[in-house]
Amino acid sequence: MNLSNKAILVLEDGRTFNGASFGAEGETFGEIVFNTSMSGYQEILTDPSYAGQIVCMTYPLIGNYGVNTEDVESRRPWVEGFVVREASRIASNWRSTETLDSYLKRNNIVGIEHIDTRALVRHIRDKGAMRSAISTIELDAESLLQKVLASPSMENRELASAVTVADEFEYPSAQTAKYHIVAYDFGVKTNSLREFSRFGCKITVVPAHTSANDVLALKPDGIFLSNGPGDPASMTAVVSEIKKLTESSVPMFGICLGHQILGQVFGGETYKLKFGHRGGNQPIKNLETGKIEIASHNHGFAVSRESLPADVEVTHVNLNDDTVAGLRHKKLPIFSVQYHPESAPGPHDSEYLFEQFVEMLGS
């Protein structure tokens, strides 16, 4: 990383940060968001839910343990750009296979370092997530701002089709398979599949646009709706197909975007949060048990509690802002959570949800 390589970050309200380039050189656009995790940057980079977004890490030193071939959550990084206070020049870990800088270069991800990430995060919290750009090519802030203003916003943007697999594939059970789950890939993370696998499930992963009839033809014991990027309100065709599946009596479990889709299936509405929830330290209250879970989050939209019908109950809430963090249908074998129980990166408090779903398959 050469400190003489200049880079600039421009937000759509004109706020500008000058820094140094790391990773790939070039110009990239996306919604600027921040993640409060202290580690797990490789899992964050490869989480498809970050498609369309430039991610700022609040922890000041990123890259110190390098990158390896095992901790990826999907087939490639999906972030549009990466913002850090300091990118470590040393990668020290026995599992490391390359540096973060090399990894970003190889995957053509533009990064910027040596900016005041505290000031940036405070600005996002005050003004909200917004369109932005990182450039090592166009260093004139006003010229880059005009490009930012011409770039797409996250509202009404459908991105699941950009990250989903082209063809269905099977993920094997880690033991003798007891159940068969069909997982909709709206941006599924590998650790979700690992969790189901270790509980004795084989998983058929299908593209986001798969019809209800095609899913039922696979004869699933359960259906999983994965996380993913974009505005859930743009997923009208998918919502229509999932609504058909709710009439099949097959148990369903949704997380993140899958949770938001189920909220709409039941007649609820979604809305955009000011700056979203992203990090491994979000406090969630389980209203059924009274227990507090520390959970991993990555979402910019939420389900409106007031819009939900009487036959859907809220099971979890986010204690930071009282937003809906979990739902359950009172009559159908369907539940969902807004956060990431697969815990990659993050705590393991919520892994019980996978076991809870698998228990439903045998009832």
- Among 56, 158, 256, 316, which one carries the catalytic annotation? 256
Contact 295, 347 (CB under 8 A): yes
Residue 123 annotated among the catalytic residues of the structure: no
Residue 256 annotated among the catalytic residues of the structure: yes
Q: How many CB atoms lie within 10 A of CB 99?
A: 20
**Strand-pair partners of 151:** none
Contact 21, 136 (CB under 8 A): yes
The string over 182-221, giving b where at least 16 C-beta atoms fall within 10 Å of a residue's C-beta and e elsewhere, is: bbbbbbbbbbbbbbbbebbbbbbbbbbebebeebeeeebb
SS (H, E, C) the chain: CCCCCEEEEEECCCCEEEEEEEEECCEEEEEEEEECCCCCHHHHHCCHHHCCEEEEECCCEECCCCECCCCCCCCCCCCCEEECCEECCCCCCCCCCECHHHHHHHCCCEEEECCCHHHHHHHHHHHCCEEEEEECCCCCHHHHHHHHHCCCCCCCCECHHHHCCCCCEEECCCCCCCEEEEEEECCCCHHHHHHHHHCCEEEEEEECCCCHHHHHHCCCCEEEECCCCECHHHCHHHHHHHHHHHHHCCCEEEECHHHHHHHHHCCCCEEEEEEEEEEEEEEEEECCCCCEEEEEEEEEEEECHHHCCCCEEEEEEECCCCCEEEEEECCCCEEEECCECCCCCCCCCCCHHHHHHHHHHCC
CA distance 177 to 200: 5
Closest CA to 326 of 305, 347, 298, 296: 305
- Among 277, 297, 316, 340, which one carries the catalytic annotation? 340
Q: Which residues are catalytic?
A: 256, 340, 342
